[in-house]
């Protein structure tokens, strides 16, 4: 496996698919997750333009796991999925959009990758395989730091004024990409004037003692069960161990630039490409 060099041909770079799952929230130990919605966008790695998108609600085998009412304004209800296709009905499309591409998303190695493999196991079919994984939770924790607060997507989006997270798959993956663009732009600017811009942000390195407030903390409300049970970052973000349903060897060497948080294969683009092109994302 070779790292990217000046001979890298962007025209032949594998596409990146950002994807997200919405699931039920198990109410007690022993209960399982069921995929209720799948959403994905395929983006060009050298321009970060969206070239394809797909989303679908999915009816679980056990409808009782879906709440009649959702605590979220855009949440998925039992009525919404009652007439949706089963996972088996949409498995071919999901496989085709995921297999053989670079997978990207927020906390996907710990959550979404596991759920995808479980869903394909349920229907006795081989699961799609990535040629590399970019988990924005690990990448942004390592590269951007906790200057925005905790590493939840909603917090990062709020920090950049990108609106409220809807917790719907297609909306969330597009927000994920926008968050990455904004973080990359900030890092690009800081690298241009490191002695000036980076110094002013260095106080965020000590996040645990900072006064940053998330929305739930500032209004005195506790986050809902739906906000904390599925894809919330683990309490210790740096150096935590993820459960990954794909062997590390199949993902290639770990890129040194993110110290093991980004798996990459032959010729695969990494977050450094996003940084390289971030100057074109300024608005």
Exposed, middle or buried: residue 248 (CB in 10 Å: 0-12, 13-18, 19+)? exposed
Three-state SS annotation for the chain: CCCCCCCCCHHHCCCEEEEEEEECCCCCCCCCCCEEEEEEEEECCCCCCEEEEEEEECECCCHHHCCCCCCCCCCCCHHHHCCCCEHHHHHHHHHHHHCCCEEEECCHHHHHHHHHHHHHHHCCCCCCCCCEEEEHHHHHHHHCCCCCCCCCHHHHHHHCCCCCCCCCHHHHHHHHHHHHHHHHHHHHHHHHCHHHHHHHHHHHHHHHHCCCCCHHHHCCCCCCHHHHHCCCCCCCCCCCCCCCCCCHHHHCCECHHHCCCEECCCCCCCHHHHHHCHHHHCC
Exposed, middle or buried: residue 258 (CB in 10 Å: 0-12, 13-18, 19+)? buried
**What is the rounded distance in angstroms from the CA atom of residue 279 to the CA atom of residue 283?**
10
Residue 74 is among the residues annotated as catalytic for this protein: no
Q: Do 14 and 269 meet the contact criterion of CB atoms below 8 Å apart?
A: yes
Q: Which of 6, 74, 106, 167 is catalytic?
A: 167
Catalytic residues: 167
């Amino acid at each position: 496996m070779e790292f990217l060099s000046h001979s890298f041909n962007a025209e032949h770079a594998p596409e990146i698919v950002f994807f997200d799952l919405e699931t039920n929230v198990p109410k007690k130990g022993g209960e399982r997750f069921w995929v209720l919605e799948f959403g994905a966008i395929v983006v060009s790695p050298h321009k970060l333009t969206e070239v394809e998108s797909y989303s679908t609600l999915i009816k679980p085998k056990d409808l009782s796991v879906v709440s009649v009412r959702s605590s979220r304004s855009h949440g998925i209800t039992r009525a919404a999925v009652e007439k949706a296709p089963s996972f088996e009905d949409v498995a071919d499309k999901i496989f085709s959009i995921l297999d053989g591409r670079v997978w990207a998303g927020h906390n996907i190695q710990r959550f979404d990758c596991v759920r995808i493999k479980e869903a394909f196991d349920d229907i006795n079919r081989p699961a799609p395989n990535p040629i590399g994984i970019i988990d924005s939770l690990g990448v942004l924790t390592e590269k951007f730091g906790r200057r925005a607060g905790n590493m939840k997507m909603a917090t990062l989006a709020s920090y950049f004024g990108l609106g409220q997270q809807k917790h719907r798959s297609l909306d969330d993956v597009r927000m994920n990409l926008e968050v990455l663009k904004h973080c990359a732009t900030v890092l690009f600017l800081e690298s241009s004037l490191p002695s000036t811009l980076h110094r002013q942000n260095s106080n965020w390195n000590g996040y645990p003692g900072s006064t940053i407030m998330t929305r739930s903390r500032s209004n005195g409300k506790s986050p809902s069960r739906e906000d904390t049970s599925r894809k919330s970052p683990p309490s210790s973000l740096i150096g935590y161990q993820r459960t990954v349903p794909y062997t590390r060897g199949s993902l290639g060497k770990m890129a040194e630039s993110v110290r093991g948080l980004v798996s990459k294969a032959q010729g695969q683009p990494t977050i450094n490409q996003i940084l390289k092109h971030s100057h074109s994302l300024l608005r």
